[in-house]
Chain A
């Protein structure tokens, strides 16, 4: 059974579950709420559509918090919940490599979160029309796509981290809480200059800052990208190894 069949299987499951749309609904609602607030408080001339697009990611840090929350919940639902309900055992009794099970879940969530992030981008671009865009706006479009992708990639580190926690066979709520605890711990570590370069979220912020500048430092960007990928690969490896080596007694 090839990986692409498993990815299709995971995507079908993910997009068929109505509750999975709640997160996207919350994100878009926050975006609309921010638009209303910006509409009331930001007069044209001092504010541009591009500002709205960038603000949408940060929106008083609310989206910055909601998005990882949604990712952790979806990841926990994808592995921890499937383990406790027994559907994971049904999948594991098929001739499938354990690492492919983890990778397919990861890719399906990447696709899903990209869809959510780009839906957010499209909505904020449309809402930004109210203030208009500068003439040289077009150069920024691919950068915006990359910025949103970097953000999703950062969130995917949390997905992989949640998979590692879930691989211990821990129940859904505990998995979410432990993953969130790790995330908070990493955010705290990021504020210490001595260790911040080791924390993935620092590199997500750095890469986004680099992408905003017109003449970006490619070396630093690739360095940040490499750190994020190392995090993802290492966590996926740990997750799939744990799944392979432990007894499925549920």
Chain B
């Protein structure tokens, strides 16, 4: 059961708690709440509520005296493609690592579907697929064997093992033709492509992807197709990039990260992407 948040005042409807004052029993999903119900804090209508896949609140990370991320605050609504633009060293990978629980914030917090990543990592990472940095695989196994191995860790919603997935079909749909090649012989582009397929195992509702669109033109096109089809399936996609063109092509919402601080955020057409275009050219 998802927590819904009021877009006007930030009040959270938590199904486990319900809204006793309005006569809504604890355990009532938001979808079952009557249409006449209004926000107890600001009186906003039910339509004014939404699910937030990612919530970062004053997130700060310091390594010794060096501040890598400073006071990062943003939210990503469910079923949105959100692009984070930033040059090398701006803190993009550190942010993704904090969102996946690999790095602990110095202060502030981040949540995935209202589950605090630092305190409730297991719950927060349910139904989340990630690619952090350069994806790594077991060198002595082929690409397909690596996928099969990780699929064995998952259990699908129907209760059946994810290893039941037809790997050949999955590889084909992702445009992977190197399934039988040992991981030690894969190029960086191939690893990136395989990493994204790995992130898609188990049908996640949120994808956290660190620079997914690097690599040759062929790989980029394939990954773009995969991300577009995920967006059509209403999967929330959060990706980082140093290339403003990626944000323009794929994202609906975005933010700009410079020297560990968010300098702009909002709908993509409101972001100052042109100044980054010039730098990249």
CB neighbours of B154 from chain A (8 A): 1, 94
Binary A-proximity of B107-130 (CB < 8 A = 1, otherwise 0): 000000000000001111110101
Minimal Cβ-Cβ distance residue in B for A248: B102
Q: Does residue B92 face the partner (Cβ distance < 8 Å to A)?
A: no
Interface of B is mostly: loop
The interface-forming segment of A4-12, A118-126, A175-183, A206-214 is A4-12
Contact of A247 among B102, B126, B145, B155 (CB under 8 A): B102
Q: Does residue B138 face the partner (Cβ distance < 8 Å to A)?
A: yes
- Complex contact A93–B138 (CB within 8 A): no
- Complex contact B123–A247 (CB within 8 A): no
**29 A-B contact pairs sorted by A residue (CB < 8 Å):** A1-B155, A5-B153, A9-B149, A9-B153, A12-B149, A12-B152, A17-B140, A19-B140, A87-B136, A87-B138, A89-B132, A89-B133, A89-B136, A90-B137, A92-B100, A92-B102, A93-B100, A94-B125, A94-B153, A95-B121, A95-B122, A95-B125, A95-B128, A96-B153, A97-B122, A247-B63, A247-B97, A247-B102, A249-B63
Interface residues of B (CB under 8 A from A): 63, 97, 100-104, 121-126, 128, 130, 132-141, 145, 149-150, 152-155, 198
A90 to chain B, nearest CB (A): 6
Interface of A is mostly: helix
A249 to chain B, nearest CB (A): 7
Known pairs A5-B155, A9-B149, A12-B152; A86 contacts B133 (CB<8 A): yes
A231 to chain B, nearest CB (A): 28
Chain A 77-96 interface residues, beta-carbon cutoff 8 Å to B: 85-87, 89-96
A4 to chain B, nearest CB (A): 11
B10 to chain A, nearest CB (A): 27
Chain A 1-35 interface residues, beta-carbon cutoff 8 Å to B: 1, 5-6, 8-9, 12-13, 16-19
- Complex contact A90–B136 (CB within 8 A): yes
- Complex contact A87–B137 (CB within 8 A): yes
A9-B153, A95-B125, A96-B122 given. 20 additional CB < 8 A pairs? Answer: A1-B155, A5-B155, A6-B153, A9-B150, A9-B152, A13-B149, A17-B138, A18-B140, A86-B134, A89-B132, A89-B136, A90-B137, A92-B100, A92-B102, A95-B122, A95-B123, A95-B128, A247-B102, A247-B103, A249-B97
- Complex contact B136–A8 (CB within 8 A): no
CB neighbours of B138 from chain A (8 A): 13, 17, 87
Chain A 50-107 interface residues, beta-carbon cutoff 8 Å to B: 85-87, 89-97
